[in-house]
Structure 1
Amino acid sequence: MPNFICKNTQSSLRVFIVIIGTIIGSLSAGLSAVHAADIAEAERHYFAGQYEAAELIAAAEVERGVWNERWPRLLIQCQLTTGKYAEALETYNAAIERFPTSLTLRMQGLEVLRQNNQLDLAADSNARILQLLQAAPTRFASHDNIIATGRYFAERGNDARQILKLFYDRVRDADPTFIEVYIATAELALQKSDFKVAAETLQQAQRVGTSDPRVAYLLARAWEPSDSEKAAEAISVALEQNPNHIPSLLFIAEHAIDREQYDLAESTVQEVLAINRYQQEALALLAVLAHLRGKYDIESLMRASALRTWKRNPQVDHLIGRKLSQKYRFEEGANYQRRALEFDPNYSPARFQLAQDLLRLGHDDDGWEMAHQVAEEDEYNVVAHNLITLHDRLKNFRIMEAGDIHVRMDPHEAEIYGDSVLELLTEAQAVLCKKYDIEPTAPIVVEIFPEQKDFAIRTFGLPGGSGYLGVCFGRVITANSPASQGPRPSNWQSVLWHEFCHVVTLEKTKNRMPRWLSEGISVYEERQRDPSWGESMTPQYRAMLMDKNLTPVSQLSAAFLSPPSPIHLQFAYFESSLVIEFLVERHGQDALKQILSDLGDGLMINDALVRSVGSMDRLDSEFADYARQRAEAFAPEVDWSKEGLPETGSVDELQAWAEQHQDNYWALRGIAEACIVSEQYEQARTPLERLRDLGAVTAERGGPLEMLARVYRELGQSEEEHTTLEKIVELSSDALPALRRLMEMAAEQENWTQVANYAQQVLSINPLMPTGHEQMAMAAEYLDRPADTVRSLRALGSMVPVDPAAVDYRLARAFAAMDQTDRAKHHVLRAIEEAPRYRDAYRLLLQLTEKPSQPANSQPANSQPANSQPANHDELPAADPVKESL
């Protein structure tokens, strides 16, 4: 965490210090508020959402003239909550005359004045608070007022760390049961995106015990970025405590918008408006819904309604823009942030959201400049700090261009496979733009990160997102490189093809498309490019397709946003791609393109589908039939039932059960797995071969095919092993173990064409694997392909090879074969510099010197290449002319 400093003037800082010293002294004197049973009862009504009951009790006590400022504060809070802003102003004006030393009341009054459009008066009152603190800080020494003081300085943009340390922590130490201090601390942490501190603080509050729904609500917000289940549980608790808790209802509405459950979102917003018809966030969300539905006149009306009571509230436009950006409408979102900044140029949330929007639109110069400004002015903003730290690393990335495709990569990785990235993206642009009749109107930026945390920070602002391989924002793609994915990375080519397809479809729809459609098309186009790419059928997917609860097409986006498990999320990709196959097969590619065009024109997805393919009910029904047919076509002769299957039985029990349930997939697989564990490979072979013959095999990791390949290898059945490995590679885009074994077998048989083919497939999965480049170089040398030899050896040389002299020597031979004598001399001299007693290198140098214009190759093209035996670095050269030539 950075070392934070106060951003206000020196005079404010002096006041700040004086106040802290005085208040700390007051705390030690043991000042505390008087807690009456009746005020506690009234507050319980409020916390339970019984606002009218709480208001009646508070109003009666205020009218009676009870000398306790908590009564008018509670009455004002009830009036603000229910939208009685004029009444709240009247209550406040009377109360502040009676309780002028209540800083808590004055802070509450700022909200009252703003909601009554008395903005000049609110500004004067804000300035008056600082004057009062400076003149008589000891008058504001209660716990409530200390918290209010911290909130005041937080609103002014003072150092968050100092506010925590000198205000909130002091109050908590003095009274660990004071709930308001936990809430204030959590609110400040959430403002700065420090979700960990917020969650820890609120968990402490829960241990104290409270019926205040704000604790559970704020905890839901703290868990939201990292654990959706815990967030849902927390918001459920908040609404159990208070079914009318407006922030929690708005939380539900926002998440319904995220899931494209727009009817649920609207009904939840209406619940809020039934409590407070002027509630600004609720009206702002109605503007969001109107925009997403293409009802732009209503959008403008809802925005105007939201600004009716506080006409320059920057939070309204910030909220609308933030939600639109979450729907990938970054251009529209950025425009709303600009509106918010017109109301308040210092409103940090809008400035930072605008910075992120600009970065996702590819406007890097403006985006990074604004992000730096936010980070400098608010050093406690965790997301801004992360982004700026990342930006420093990005400055070292190499930028490569091919037309309007701009790729940014780590220099080391760019050297190895940067050209291949450009080639693939250029092909994707040519194929997919033509297919969908679209041409991007601005450069496409692709950033590939060797570290997963950098990818996550660039993409999400925070570390995490480990399940993501790539993300497309429209014309900006971020992706994890194979280096960040462990020993079995996904095929980087399929990932980039998938993401570039998003560029095309988002461009065609102006970023107005549901996630299921976007992901479905991308996975579908992966398989069109290469049948082994993208999601494919598995036994588990088969069962899910057959399930009567299969997600209907009309609800597919929710399957991405709230999946019960990781496998359900992966299945959502697969099911969505089947929907695209179904649409293209039944209605043609033109119908799919028309759907995308209609979305770009502002139609909702269901309306676009109805226009092109018919009613949604019929589409849901017909696709369910199509999905079942696809499932039934997968290994149709197999018994897929699990009923009665022994869960923890021995091999004998499984075999006995299998005799009564012949060709049962789970029994045959279970028998094979148990036999392999006990190294009974011959016994494992029979059930695995039966599964293969029944067609019940896929490319799943650790599945029957991989088990069968292992069995054949253990049994020494090389031909059968080879055939099985080939099948795995045919079905899988990332079968690295199978490819490595195939390379090894092909090299043993000196089938260099196969070695080259397998090596190329290895490099399409992980171009950073030395084995792939070594095998490709060896095959290229035997096949007399010097250009391929150079490409692989250069990559190998950048990976800190065990024998760099041998790599340079082989490069010299390859360049010599290409008549590039100067380059050949350069590398042979590097080899000699590395290994001064390298006899073969001296001989090659002699040949290059004597015949500079000839393709000097010390061995015939079809002879054994130099790398087939360890290089002899220890023998001295036999001929003096070599020395003379040096």
Structure 2
Amino acid sequence: MKFLPFPIARLVGLFQLVSGRRLGMATVCLVCGLSLAVSAQAAEDPRFEEARVHFQRGRIPEALELYDKLGEAGLEPGRVAIGKSRCLEFRGEWKEATEVLEQAASADDDPALLARLAEIYLAQGRFDVAEQRLKRALELDATLPAVKLIEADLLAAQGKLQQANTAYHWFVRYYNQEQPEDSETLILVARGASQYARWNSVPQIFDFVVNTLCTDAQAKDANCWQARLISGMLLLEKFNRAQAIPELKQALAINPHAAEIHAALALAALQDRNLAEAGSHLQRALERNPKHPFVLRLAADIALADGRLDVARQTLVQALDINSRDQTVLGRLAACHVLEDGIPTDAELDQLFAHLEDIDNLPEKSLSRFGTLLAGTAKWNPHPGPFLAAAAEQFLGRSKFEIAERCYRQAVLSMPQLAGPKAELGLLYMRTGNIAEAQKLLDQAYAADPYHVRVSNMRKVLKVLSGYEVITTEHFVIRVDSQVDRVLGKYMAEYLESIYPVLVEQFGFEPPEKTQFEIYNKGKGQSAHQWFSARMVGLPWIQTIGASTGRIVAMASPTGVERPFNWARVVKHEFVHILTLQQTAFNIPHWYTEALAVMSEGGSRPEEFRRVLIERFGRGELMNLDTINLGFARPKTPDDWTLAYCQAQLYAEYMIEKFGPSKPKELLMAYCDNQSTEQAIPRVFGVSKAVFEQGYRDYVETIISQIRKQKIELSLTPGAAEKEHQAHPDDPAVAARFARELLKIGKRKEARKIAQAALEANPGEPVANTVLALLELRAENAPAAIDWLKKGLNSADPHPGV
């Protein structure tokens, strides 16, 4: 694991600080519930152990067959019922799993059985009956770890936070006193102690859980995939994907049928913004257990990231059918309501937040759908921190900064034990440019949890940013590295002020505050792009050279990257995002803000746009309004991304060509009114969406027919270009194409040699001359590059690449 040399790079070392075997302190529940098989200890009949191993390996039919035989033999009915219930729950058969336990409990007053029944009631939100069964289990054996963990989890779910904290702390004391060695107990201790650690900001316990408890559990039982899952989820919780993914893959090697492991891998991909990979892992999870709460929550998150609100809402309703009191689901559903209905009034939010601990006396009775869900939750838990945090996360994902901030702040007030909202609030302030508040909160978050990768990275970004020079103009604040970019910053300030009045008039909107630009250069052993990416998301993800949150713009300096770029086009493009996102309160869809930004750049259609458009049209793979956002959010290839930009621009051109120059702005106004694309198209263009799409398709075909009259070469992979060259070694055009593909993958020496050979056969070969021109440009020899381009230029029939 290595990205930036921040505290994240010390994670392995920190996880090895604890050398003793005493558990000192502890935090909140893992993202997903974990089901453990009954321990193999004291198994008189070897079939119990055989059934347990089948379960651990995900061989559920075989495990159930053995449990049925053990049940028929009358052997340990409670133990058989526990084993069968876990197998049934593993497949999402909640009703059947519950009935097996209820039937056994009616005849067997066994604390382990009663604890398991209470556990499954709790997982379905049935607090009253869970409490009844738990009470009896505690009467029978108040020292059984399984009983104590259910007690702690139930108290937490009811909002009895002090009692829950004491119950989680029990696991720290228990481990220190008893030093258990069996894998089942070690996993229970890991879960309880981890929750205590989160709630009380004791990062040393995370170290102990990963490096001692889970390691020992795995050593005692090679089939204990739960140990690997707990380690992986804790690491993902800290955004430490590099160490989390190997743990999760090892868990999957033990049990490839566990839906929660596939879902955890989907979460890891989602953290990396790889929605395509996340979707693949999610599909595997759904195939294995379509009723796993963690899987359904993740499915909703991916749908929300794709902008598919209807799908997300339906998925969340399915999750609530399993557990109507899952705060993380209720919070997401509440966020969906806000995204559809609009943000509740400040007065409603003020009243709601002020009465969460006294919700029956809430003065306001006419509530929004968001308010209705929150008030309903507060009736059974007056400290709905997970609800508020889950809603805030979705608001932040949609750049609804104001309500996200309010919900995160209230989550901290309602449930200060939660560390996540504090860190996320600091990261939110980074996105909105409130650097002073961000610094304060991120310092607090780091002190509470130094393992959090995004927090660690962002604090380093703040340190770099504090050393940058600040250039302030009437409408902009620009931060640059004074050592290398002072001149660039001044030119950028002049340029931004020159385009400001034009763009403000064009879009009819003026930002209420000065827009911040941050220009990152290389330093402290990191590239300009690494700093820029860390600034935007706290992780090494961003693939572009510039990006906007809608409040601030950050970009890599053109003086700090290998391939220089037109910074004026980039800052203009990003400032258009600032205008359109703020103007529409972030309701504008991704494709349309990109369309307007690309249109603002001016110039001819890039050759790459034309090439991809021709290729995808020929394969019948053009996007439409239902799919174009996926090209930005989850491109499967770089060409998907290019096509999305190209088609977004074509949509804007089509509006002007077919309906008139005023229509792009009218569509923008429809988004200002919180309308969806489905609602906006009939309002603005006077036609149905289907008719609009058909007209667009006809327009694109016209553009393609024009492009085909030009010289557009379809792309080749380096391998395909090499095979073509081997088949036609004497064809200079083929050789030139091979040289071009070699240059794309950085093989400059080979590209030069082959291009020169092509020119010996045909001195005017355009692609070969272009390859040599590009090589000269990379050596900063512009005159030589121009000479090569002149040799490749045929004025009567110019090649577009030249």
TM-score class, shorter-chain normalisation, is: 0.7 to 0.9
Cα deviation code 1:795-832 (max 9, x no counterpart): xxxxxxxxxxxxxxxxxxxxxxxxxxxxxxxxxxxxxx
Residue 150 of structure 1 corresponds to 190
1:579–1:394: structure 2 CA closer, same or farther, 3 Å change rule?
A: same
Residue 163 of structure 2 corresponds to 124
1:203–1:675: structure 2 CA closer, same or farther, 3 Å change rule?
A: closer
- Which of 527, 534, 541 is matched with 1:457 structurally? 534
Residue 690 of structure 2 corresponds to 617
Residue 650 (structure 2) pairs with residue 578 (structure 1): yes
Residue 676 of structure 2 corresponds to 604
Structure 2, unmatched stretches of 5+, are 1-6, 15-19, 27-38, 50-66, 68-79, 345-367, 522-527, 741-746, 789-802
Residue 543 of structure 1 corresponds to 615
1:714–1:506: structure 2 CA closer, same or farther, 3 Å change rule?
A: farther
Residue 298 of structure 1 corresponds to 369
For the residue of structure 1 that corresponds to 2:382, the secondary structure is coil
Query: Does the Cα contact within 8 Å between 1:62 and 1:72 map onto a contact in 2?
Result: yes
Cα deviation code 1:291-334 (max 9, x no counterpart): 22235522322333454533312111111111111112222211
Deviation at 1:240, TM superposition (A): 1.8
State the distance in 2 between where 1:711 and 1:424 align: 44
State the distance in 2 between where 1:513 and 1:18 align: 47
For the residue of structure 2 that corresponds to 1:413, the secondary structure is coil
Residue 598 (structure 2) pairs with residue 555 (structure 1): no
Residue 595 (structure 2) pairs with residue 526 (structure 1): no
State the distance in 2 between where 1:491 and 1:423 align: 16
State the distance in 1 between where 2:516 and 2:708 align: 43
State the distance in 2 between where 1:213 and 1:525 align: 46
Q: Which amino acid aligns with 1:511?
A: F
State the distance in 2 between where 1:468 and 1:716 align: 37
1:428–1:544: structure 2 CA closer, same or farther, 3 Å change rule?
A: farther
Residue 836 of structure 1 corresponds to none
State the distance in 1 between where 2:772 and 2:594 align: 25
Aligned residues, how many? 678
Residue 412 of structure 2 corresponds to 341
1:231–1:678: structure 2 CA closer, same or farther, 3 Å change rule?
A: closer
State the distance in 2 between where 1:634 and 1:619 align: 23
- Which of 473, 497, 505 is matched with 2:549 structurally? 473
Residue 386 of structure 1 corresponds to 457
- Which of 492, 499, 502 is matched with 1:431 structurally? 502
Question: Residues 269-668 of structure 1: matches in 2 within 5 Å?
Answer: 269-295=316-342, 296=344, 297-450=368-521, 451-465=528-542, 467-486=543-562, 488-527=563-602, 530-531=603-604, 537-545=609-617, 547-613=619-685, 614-636=687-709
1:210–1:634: structure 2 CA closer, same or farther, 3 Å change rule?
A: closer
State the distance in 1 between where 2:404 and 2:93 align: 36
Deviation at 1:516, TM superposition (A): 0.8
Cα deviation code 1:333-352 (max 9, x no counterpart): 11211121121234211111
Q: Which amino acid aligns with 2:692?
A: L
Query: Does the Cα contact within 8 Å between 1:428 and 1:500 map onto a contact in 2?
Result: no
Deviation at 1:206, TM superposition (A): 1.8
Residue 204 of structure 1 corresponds to 250
1:219–1:629: structure 2 CA closer, same or farther, 3 Å change rule?
A: same
Query: Does the Cα contact within 8 Å between 2:735 and 2:758 map onto a contact in 1?
Result: no
Residue 122 (structure 2) pairs with residue 95 (structure 1): no
- Which of 241, 260, 263 is matched with 2:288 structurally? 241
Residue 355 of structure 2 corresponds to none
1:75–1:654: structure 2 CA closer, same or farther, 3 Å change rule?
A: same
Cα deviation code 1:166-191 (max 9, x no counterpart): 32223223333223222221222122
Residue 43 of structure 1 corresponds to 86
State the distance in 2 between where 1:603 and 1:677 align: 48
State the distance in 1 between where 2:299 and 2:428 align: 24
1:676–1:475: structure 2 CA closer, same or farther, 3 Å change rule?
A: closer
Stretch deviating more after TM superposition (501-510 or 219-228)? 219-228
Deviation at 1:505, TM superposition (A): 0.8
Instruction: Give the greater-gyration-radius structure (CA).
Output: 1
Q: TM-score, normalised by structure 1?
A: 0.69
Structure 1, unmatched stretches of 5+, are 8-12, 20-29, 656-669, 682-700, 749-886
Question: Residues 19-30 of structure 1: matches in 2 within 5 Å?
Answer: none
Deviation at 1:268, TM superposition (A): 1.6
Query: Does the Cα contact within 8 Å between 1:355 and 1:368 map onto a contact in 2?
Result: yes
Cα deviation code 1:389-419 (max 9, x no counterpart): 2222222211112223111112223234222
1:468–1:374: structure 2 CA closer, same or farther, 3 Å change rule?
A: same
Deviation at 1:255, TM superposition (A): 0.8
Cα deviation code 1:125-170 (max 9, x no counterpart): 4325536854895457253333333333322332222332332223
State the distance in 2 between where 1:707 and 1:331 align: 58
Stretch deviating more after TM superposition (581-590 or 454-463)? 581-590
Q: Which amino acid aligns with 2:650?
A: L
1:4–1:57: structure 2 CA closer, same or farther, 3 Å change rule?
A: same
State the distance in 2 between where 1:181 and 1:641 align: 50
Q: TM-score, normalised by structure 2?
A: 0.76
Cα deviation code 1:641-684 (max 9, x no counterpart): 99xxx9988789879xxxxxxxxxxxxxx9543244899x9xxx
Deviation at 1:60, TM superposition (A): 2.0
Question: Residues 654-803 of structure 1: matches in 2 within 5 Å?
Answer: 671-676=731-736, 737=777, 743-744=783-784
State the distance in 1 between where 2:458 and 2:98 align: 46
State the distance in 2 between where 1:651 and 1:132 align: 68
Stretch deviating more after TM superposition (427-436 or 220-229)? 220-229
State the distance in 2 between where 1:484 and 1:264 align: 43
Q: Which amino acid aligns with 1:456?
A: S
- Which of 37, 49, 73 is matched with 2:115 structurally? 73
1:323–1:652: structure 2 CA closer, same or farther, 3 Å change rule?
A: closer
Deviation at 1:383, TM superposition (A): 1.1
Query: Does the Cα contact within 8 Å between 1:32 and 1:143 map onto a contact in 2?
Result: no
State the distance in 2 between where 1:745 and 1:41 align: 74
State the distance in 2 between where 1:513 and 1:143 align: 52
1:129–1:434: structure 2 CA closer, same or farther, 3 Å change rule?
A: closer
Cα deviation code 1:537-578 (max 9, x no counterpart): 423322324554421124321222222211111110111111
State the distance in 2 between where 1:84 and 1:258 align: 31
State the distance in 2 between where 1:169 and 1:230 align: 29
Deviation at 1:523, TM superposition (A): 1.1
Higher RCO, Cα 8 Å, sep 6+: 2
1:228–1:673: structure 2 CA closer, same or farther, 3 Å change rule?
A: farther
State the distance in 1 between where 2:600 and 2:591 align: 14
Deviation at 1:746, TM superposition (A): 7.8
State the distance in 2 between where 1:653 and 1:721 align: 21
1:647–1:739: structure 2 CA closer, same or farther, 3 Å change rule?
A: closer
For the residue of structure 2 that corresponds to 1:367, the secondary structure is helix
State the distance in 1 between where 2:738 and 2:396 align: 55
Q: Which amino acid aligns with 1:101?
A: T
Query: Does the Cα contact within 8 Å between 1:318 and 1:336 map onto a contact in 2?
Result: yes
Cα deviation code 1:432-453 (max 9, x no counterpart): 1121011110121111112211
1:234–1:543: structure 2 CA closer, same or farther, 3 Å change rule?
A: closer
